[in-house]
Amino acid sequence: MTYVCHSDFHDHAALPFVLRDETRADVSARERLLDAAFGPERFAKTCERLREGRAPASGLALVACVGDECVGTIRFWHVQAGERAALLLGPLAVDARHRALGLGRKLIVEGLFRAMQRGHKAVLLVGDAPYYNRFGFERALTRGLVLPGPVDDERFLGLELDPGALVGARGLVRPSGARAASRRPSCMADAALSRAA
Ligand SMILES: CC(C)(COP(=O)(O)OP(=O)(O)OC[C@H]1O[C@@H](n2cnc3c(N)ncnc32)[C@H](O)[C@@H]1OP(=O)(O)O)[C@@H](O)C(=O)NCCC(=O)NCCS
């Protein structure tokens, strides 16, 4: 599914862009975007323990493109949140030259819309609450859940796509997505993991 949008946030900088499913051809551009946004430390994050070796949820790896250039990325992953099935959102990144034009918002809204269409009931993430609160993500929904590593608790947020889906959710959050085809970790990943060890 693809759609073309014109950013309505800044008339002086109307930005025609396309949101579409990520393809194999987007992988290098996506990794460059993530390296620029988060640096090599991204591989040492606790959320990476829920993503590594797994494929993203079906239909929930999206890119935003301006012309031929991939300028935004979002992916969602299957996790088991205690006894509840959920998605993990992230990473989300927009190229620094194209920020504050609504691309991040469009990627999130489209991702959540697709997640609902596919019957997913809840979404978790670790991120900046002042940004994600506007989409309905709340700390209160994750208080009974534990991530498989250190994290700033106030950044651990949840959203119910189906009301009540996270009520009473307790326990460890574990990866539950399909195994990805194996590939050699990048040099950046090696370096970050050895620093984190
Ligand atoms: C966060 C990010 C994806 C937002 O993308 P974007 O396309 O600029 O976002 P939007 O245009 O939809 O929204 C911009 C608004 O979000 C706010 N915002 C952006 N990042 C924010 C943050 N970390 N915390 C709080 N507000 C934030 C902007 O100030 C702006 O506010 P306004 O609408 O009141 O002017 C982008 O800044 C980015 O890639 N950052 C680096 C990676 C990152 O931090 N990813 C998210 C992990 S928390």
pLDDT tens sequence across 127-150: 999 999 999 999 999 999 999 999
Residue 15: per-residue pLDDT: 73
Pick from 165, 179, 139: which is nearest to 83 by CA? 165
Predicted local confidence at residue 190, as pLDDT: 45
- pLDDT confidence bin for 8, thresholds 50/70/90: very low
User: Which domains does the chain show, CATH number per domain?
Assistant: 3-196 (3.40.630.30)
Strand partners, 172: 146
Distance 73 CA to ligand 1 centre (A): 13
**In contact, 78 and 54? CB cutoff 8 Å:** yes
Ligand 1 centre distance from Cα of residue 92 (Å): 10
pLDDT of residue 116: 98
Q: Is the pLDDT of residue 6 over 60?
A: no
Burial (CB count within 10 angstroms: exposed 0-12, middle 13-18, buried 19+), residue 182: exposed
CA nearest neighbour of 155 among 129, 177, 119: 129
Residues with CB under 6 A from ligand 1: 37, 92-94, 99-105, 127-128, 130-131
Using CA positions, which residue lies closest to atom 41 of ligand 1?
37
Backbone angles phi, psi at 70, to 5 degrees: -85, 115
